[in-house]
Amino acid sequence: MAKELAFVLINPYPIRKSRTGGIIARYLVRTDLKLVGARVVGASAELVNEFATYLETYDPDDPEKCALLANYVRRFYTPDAATGRPHRSILLLFEGDDAIRKIFDVTGAIRQQWCSGQSVRDTYGDLVYNPTTGEVDYFEPAVMVGPTQKVVGDVLRMWLPHLASQAGIVRGALDVPGGADVQETLVMLKPDNWRQPSLRAGNIMDLLSNSGLRIVGVKKFSMSVAQAEEFYGPVREGLKKVFKKFAADRAAQALSREFGFPVDAAPLDDLCDKLAPSFAEREFESIVEFMTGRRPSNCLPEERILPGTEECLAIVYEGLDAVTKIRDILGATDPTKARPGSIRREFGTNIMVNAAHASDSVENARREMRILDVANDPHFEALIRKYYVD
C-alpha cells in the first residue's frame, strides 16, 4: 500500500486548555504513522472564511455536520474583530500506509457513540443536544481531520499559500498575554522520544503545560551536523572543565590499582589539562551523533548541512518568567539528580539522553531558535506539495 499524508488540525480551544500533548499522544500510539510536520498557525480572516465556506458543502450526505463544522470554524477561528489578533491552531502532518483512514478512525465521529474515551473526540470533544428542542447547545470537535484523500488534499492545498505568512512563531495571539516581562523560551524534545511509538512526547508536553505558558511555535525536524555543532558549541568548554574535576582522582585510582602503591592525584593535574581537549572533543562528537545520527569526524563536507537521521521537536513557549518555569519542570541535566516528578527524572537515562533540552536564558533561546529556524519550515510545505500539488 502506498504511503499517504494526513493532517490533524488541533482547534484553538483544546490548545488554550493545554490538551495538545494528550491529543498528540493518542495519534502517536494508536497509529503506526510518523509525525512528519507540526506548525502553529494564526489563521487570517481570509483563510478562515475560505475554510468555513469549503466545510459548508464538503459532505453533501451530511448537511448538519457540514453546518456544525463551518459555523464552528467561523466562530472560533476568526481573528478578534476589534484587534485583529488571531487564535492559535496547530497543524500536524502524519505520513504512512493508509494514513487518512487511520487518523480518521482514531479521531472519531463528531457524534460520539460511546463517550468513554475511545477516540480523540470522545475524550476532548463534545456535541450536546437540547433535549427539548433537539437543537445543538454545545459543540467542540477538538480537532479537524479529512475523511478522504480528496478532502485532505483540498484542505491542505487551501492552507498551503497561507502558511508562509501565518504559520511559524505566532506572536500576539488573542489568548497569549503580552508585555515587557513576557519571555520566549525553547524546548527541544530529543531523539530518544521518537525512536518508537510512545506516549513520551505527549506526556512531556502535558507536564510542560503545568508552567501555565502558551505554545506559540512548533517544528518537527531532523537536525543537521552543522546545526548541532553550532547549537551545542558552548558545551565544549564546559566538557573540558568537567573532565578536570574528576580526571586526576580517577587517574590516580587507576594507577594505584595498576602499580600496587598509592598514587597522589596532584602531580596528574598537568597531564589532565592536556587530555581535557581530547575528552571534550570525543564527548562533543557523541552529543552531535546522538542528536543527528552522524558522527562529525565521519561526515563528508556535503553531508554536514543535510538533515540528520534522528528526529526532534522544537516547541517555543511564551509567558512570564518562561525560562525559569520550563527549566524547573524539566529538572536537573543529570536525570539521577533531578527531583522526582520532573521530566528528566521520569523520562531521562543519563546526562546526554535526558529527554529534552531547554534554553537557559532569553538570549540563548533567541540564539537556539535562530539556529533551528523555528519560524520557517520549508520541509512542511514541501511535503504538502509532494502529495497534493506536484
Give pLDDT tens digits for 119-134: 999 999 998 889 899 8
As a whole number, mean pLDDT of residues 140-162 equals 97
Q: What is the pLDDT of residue 179?
A: 80
CA 202/CA 21 separation, integer angstroms: 4
- The contacts of residue 342 (CB under 8 Å, 6+ apart) are 329, 330, 331, 332
List, as one string, the DSSP characters of 251-280: HHHHHHHHHSS---SGGGHHHHHHHHHHHH
Q: pTM of the full predicted structure?
A: 0.93
How would you classify residue 145: left for phi > 0, otherwise alpha for psi between -120 and 50, otherwise beta?
A: beta
Per-residue pLDDT averaged across 213-221, rounded? 97
How sure is the predictor about 69, in pLDDT bands with cuts at 50, 70 and 90?
very high
Q: What is the mean pLDDT of residues 305-327?
A: 96
Position 275 scores a pLDDT of 86
Domain ranges of the chain: 1-169+375-390, 229-303
- Across 215-243, average pLDDT: 93
C-alpha to C-alpha distance for 319 and 366, rounded to whole angstroms: 15
SS3 of residue 212 by DSSP: coil
- H or E, element range at 187: strand 182-189
Distance CA 170, CA 143 (A): 19
Superfamily covering domain 1-169+375-390:
Nucleoside diphosphate kinase-like domain (3.30.70.141)
Is the per-residue pLDDT at 344 higher than 60? yes
Contact 322, 217 (CB under 8 A): no
Active site residues: 357
The whole-angstrom separation of Cα 85 and Cα 166 is 12
> How far lies 119's CA from each of 16, 19, 35, 50, 73, in Å?
20, 14, 18, 28, 21
Q: Grid coordinates standing for 34?
A: 510518523
Q: Are 86 and 171 a contacting pair, CB within 8 Å?
A: no
Cell of 24: 498528540
Which DSSP string do the residues of 120-156 spell out, in sequence order? Answer: HHHHH-EEEE-TTT--EEEEE-SEEE-SSHHHHHHHH
